[in-house]
Chain A
């Protein structure tokens, strides 16, 4: 039997004005388990807290009820008071007789009656409270960053600079991501390579950072502070430690006609290749689909020319197991496929290109060495039409486009248009837009500069149709402001394709039990207040995997994610919330209902041996809640058909007792 103390607070006249505090403490004295009951002017004051402490000691109280303001206000205070007097802090319950009683009711008898009932409910609950101790778990002081674009690079650098080890897993042969493919960056027009490649070198040279390029995450187990991750290192048929990146093999390889994915297939590379000159790690990779030696065992030129002896045709995929305390997802984005947009003739004409292809066409390291030439005939285009919102803000047809705004297209299109007019003032540049969205520092000024100084023709209206005619593209569009249809003879049409999360994100989310929205963007733990954390403890989000983002925003989010990771790794152990779910193994029938509703992936199943009365053993599948991951929502307790699952601190019994006390 509990020995409960009841402390009724007057809160000056806030409570005592409408509630007869004396009557409340008298009434509650007669409740089962209550051995002491008193009232005082300000329970939260030092003197009030001393009354509680003294009573705990004097009356050997095992639980206390404070009838006062909202628990959201002073629950923590009174828990500390109880702990200071040697009582488990979770043996404290608050009856909210201020916000939910004295402040909303005006008459003394009504207020007093309700306060007594609320007090009784709290007493009934405390009678069933058990002392709770928060669980502790150790922290592996290393972080994993999945994705080596600017988001992953920045996160890794920030974590490593704080002194923690970081591994980057990148599925491409080099880190750098989309930013490495860009030419200039808005709104300052810095050259992307000039600001990115030094960071890539920093990553390569950082003693705390390891890069697993051409690799993917294949399995994730464990939980916050203690993840076990299996990394699959794909065979690149080149020994990374021996290859010097001299590039001789990439010049001698006879397989010349392989589409160069770094230039989006606009030129070719060899079967053994280094994606670009500043690649990190600067190691060659053999493309097994195109290599003659790997396909039919004939050739071997690269092995002959390699003075370092780095080529290894027998290399196999390798699986590496590592432990991490935190995981950062930075899987980034891709432009959507233009195959379904027949109206823009993307598949019919080489001169209809996406904006990312345009980036490569204007990049000095691109297929045309930075000269803006038409892909079809290599001529200089005189009229260029840019089309915005291709596939963005398009919710009519889910398999075609995306319902969201891709956010970056307005700005990069303004950049493309401006740079084209700057380099080639004789070109006519049209931009067709639905809205121009430029919220950002110096963004609108940038766009206005494209219009006012560079004379780019911005036309409100969407392009309806592009039809190739001879070597021209007839662009049929509406000019909504002039209320007429336009037909423009263009030489090049550039489509601002919507962006979507990388395809690998969905399977990764499943491995991490991290949640995603319907568009496959990772969901944040709270859209406003926890934007870089996933709801799954220990998993953090960086960059466009969480939603469309430009570079400055990505870098700031990457830094924020790093700060959260550092905050986690700096701890020696994690102290959890003790009000978590737990399963009664004798009652659990292993049905998996709880596992399916848990938003945090806190519930796993294990086979456990039970000794039976007849001395045989029985192996049964039972649910196990990881207290370090469980956040205590209690959803699992309701789905459990056998009633095995319960929530500490808000147990079925306790809430039932409250219901009974109120309904008596």
Chain B
């Protein structure tokens, strides 16, 4: 049997105004980060329903990261404050369920912080990879 090299699967939700632009800037500056990170664009970090994160874990994601504007800089004035509180709750629940804290993260990345985006993704991917596959929440019925 051939052993496949383990590659973590990471879903990143990025708000359209700051973090998605930050990710674009990382691209413009050719700053590398692992291809395991796949970005989903949302209008605001507060658009991310905890369901999306649960779904990602259910479908076999190994880590989920949420990026938004810095506190006080939200395009919609207060969205990221809601995000911060919601995710604090969700992540503590996930922790209780056995999803390690390192698999979830909220990070503030502005449109000017391409380098921070790449560094964050490198760091996050490394931590998630160190934890190995996420089997806790994965729904085996979804497995091919």
What's the A-B contact tally at a CB cutoff of 8 Å? 129
- When distances are taken between beta carbons in the complex, the residues of chain B under 8 Å from A100 are 23-24, 27, 39
| A118, A597, A655, A656 — most chain B CB neighbours (10 Å) | A655
* Interface residue ranges of B6-20 to A (CB < 8 Å): 9, 11, 16, 20
Question: Do A660 and B31 contact each other (CB < 8 Å), given the known contacts A634-B47, A635-B44, A635-B46?
Answer: no
**CB neighbours of B41 from chain A (8 A):** 71, 96
Whether, in the assembled complex, B101 has its beta carbon less than 8 Å from a beta carbon of chain A, the answer is no
Instruction: Pick from B49-57, B92-100, B102-110, B125-133 the stretch touching chain A.
Output: B49-57
Residue-wise interface mask of B (25-39) relative to A, using a CB-CB cutoff of 8 A (1 in contact, 0 not):
011101111010011
Contact of B43 among A110, A515, A526, A647 (CB under 8 A): A647
Task: Using CB atoms, name the residue of chain B closest to A115.
Answer: B35
Are A105 and B55 within 8 A (Cβ)?
no
Residues of B within 8 A of A584 (CB): none
User: In the complex, are the beta carbons of A634 and B23 less than 8 A apart?
Assistant: no
Question: Please, which residue of chain B has its CB at the minimum distance from the CB of A102?
Answer: B27
Q: Which of A88-106 contact B (CB under 8 A)?
A: 96, 98-101, 103-106
Asked whether any CB of chain B lies closer than 8 Å to the CB of A27, the reply is no
Please give the distance in Å from A534's CB to the nearest CB on chain B.
Answer: 10
* Assembled-state Cα–Cα distance A525/B56 (Å): 34
Q: Could you tell me the distance between the alpha carbons of A638 and B40 in the complex, rounded to whole angstroms?
A: 17
Known interface pairs A652-B51, A663-B9, A663-B60. Does A104 touch B38 (Cβ–Cβ under 8 Å)? no
Among A118, A597, A656, A662, the most chain B Cβ lie within 10 Å of the Cβ of A662
- Residue in chain B with minimal CB distance to A597: B82
Known: A72-B24, A111-B35, A663-B60. A634 touches B11 (CB 8 A): no
Task: Tell me the complex Cα distance, A96–B118, Å.
Answer: 16
Chain A residues whose CB sits within 8 angstroms of the CB of B116 once the complex forms? none
**In the bound complex, what is the Cα–Cα distance between A632 and B79 (angstroms)?**
11
**Does any Cβ of B come within 8 Å of A113's Cβ?**
yes
Q: Are the CB atoms of B76 and A631 closer together than 8 Å?
A: yes
B39: chain A residues at CB < 8 Å are 96, 100
| B59 proximal to A (CB < 8 A) | yes
| A659 CB-CB contact with B under 8 Å | yes
Residues of B within 8 A of A632 (CB): 43
Asked if residues A659 and B52 are in contact (CB atoms below 8 Å), the reply is: yes
A655 touches B23 (CB 8 A): no
B76 and A635 within 8 A (CB): yes
B32 touches A105 (CB 8 A): yes
Contact B76 A633 (CB under 8 A): yes
Q: Does A579 contact B (CB under 8 A)?
A: yes
User: Is A441 interfacial (CB 8 A cutoff)?
Assistant: no
A72 adjacent to B21 (CB under 8 Å) = yes
- CB atoms of A663 and B56 under 8 A apart: yes
Q: Is the CB of B49 within 8 A of A662?
A: no
User: Is A664 within 8 A of B59, CB to CB?
Assistant: yes
- Neighbour of B77 across the interface among A72, A515, A634, A637, CB < 8 A: A515
Q: Determine if A650 is an interface residue (Cβ-Cβ < 8 Å).
A: yes
Q: Which residues of A contact B28 (CB under 8 A)?
A: 99, 103
Q: Are A106 and B79 in contact (CB under 8 A)?
A: no
A70 touches B43 (CB 8 A): no
* Contacts A114-B38, A659-B40; A70 near B24 (Cβ below 8 A): yes
Check if B50 sits within 8 Å of A638, measured CB to CB.
yes
Q: Does B112 contact A (CB under 8 A)?
A: no
Whether, in the assembled complex, A531 has its beta carbon less than 8 Å from a beta carbon of chain B, the answer is no
Complex contacts, B76 vs chain A, CB 8 Å: 535, 599, 631, 633, 635
Query: Is B23 a contact of A635 with CB atoms below 8 Å?
Result: no
Query: A523 interface residue, CB < 8 Å from B?
Result: yes
| Other-chain contact of A104, B31, B48, B75 (Cβ < 8 Å) | B31
Cβ–Cβ < 8 Å partners of B11 in chain A? 659, 662-663
Is A652 in contact with B49, judged by CB distance below 8 angstroms? Answer: yes
Cα distance A103–B52 when bound, in Å? 27
Q: Within 8 Å CB of B135, what residues of A?
A: none
CA distance A118 to B41 in the complex (A): 11
| 21 A-B pairs with C-beta separation under 8 A | A99-B27, A100-B23, A100-B24, A100-B39, A104-B27, A105-B32, A121-B38, A523-B77, A525-B77, A599-B76, A599-B78, A633-B47, A633-B75, A638-B49, A647-B43, A650-B43, A655-B40, A659-B11, A659-B61, A662-B40, A663-B11
- B-side residues, CB < 8 A to A, are 9, 11, 16, 20-21, 23-24, 26-28, 30-33, 35, 38-44, 46-52, 55-56, 59-61, 75-79, 82, 86, 118, 144
Sample of 19 further A-B pairs with CB below 8 A, known A599-B78, A631-B76, A635-B82? A99-B27, A104-B26, A104-B32, A111-B35, A114-B35, A121-B40, A515-B78, A599-B79, A634-B43, A634-B46, A635-B46, A635-B47, A638-B47, A638-B82, A650-B47, A658-B40, A659-B52, A662-B56, A663-B60
List 3 A-B pairs, minimum CB-CB distance, nearest first: A99-B27, A634-B47, A663-B59
